[in-house]
Amino acid sequence: MPADLSAEDAKLVTLARAARARTRAAEGAAVRDSDGRTYAACTVQLDTVKLSALQLAVAMAVSSGVKGIEAAAVVTDTGTADVDVVRYFGGAALPVVVADGNGEVQDVVHT
């Protein structure tokens, strides 16, 4: 069972759940940048563009000019998350909380 989340990481799960619920998307994600700002997004699946919620949340942070990411959360029913985009932009050993649709933490993986 994953360890208890900090208040800031629990906030990421809440934001990811809300992003997912707004559009009934497959996933919701949220990232916290190195200044403490947060960015939330959901899965985008169009005919010509497919982005995971985590990819889009990182892209939103990058487009806002952030210099780094310190944590992320993904809400999904699959129980897994592709953390490559967080690793690429944020570096190694960053926590990514994986939660189910109810916000129950399933795992905390590190980049």
pLDDT number for residue 92: 87
Under DSSP, the state recorded for 108 is E
- pLDDT per residue as tens digits for the range 53-80: 999 999 999 999 998 999 999 999 988 8
pLDDT number for residue 8: 94
Local confidence pLDDT in tens for the 111 residues of the chain: 455 889 999 999 999 999 999 999 999 999 999 999 999 999 999 999 999 999 999 999 999 999 899 999 999 998 888 889 999 888 888 999 999 999 999 999 988
Domains of the chain: residue spans and CATH? 7-110 (3.40.140.10)
In 3-state terms, what secondary structure has residue 24?
A: coil
In 3-state terms, what secondary structure has residue 48?
A: coil
The CA-to-CA distance between both ends of the chain, in Å, stands at 19
d(CA 63, CA 107): 28
d(CA 61, CA 58): 5
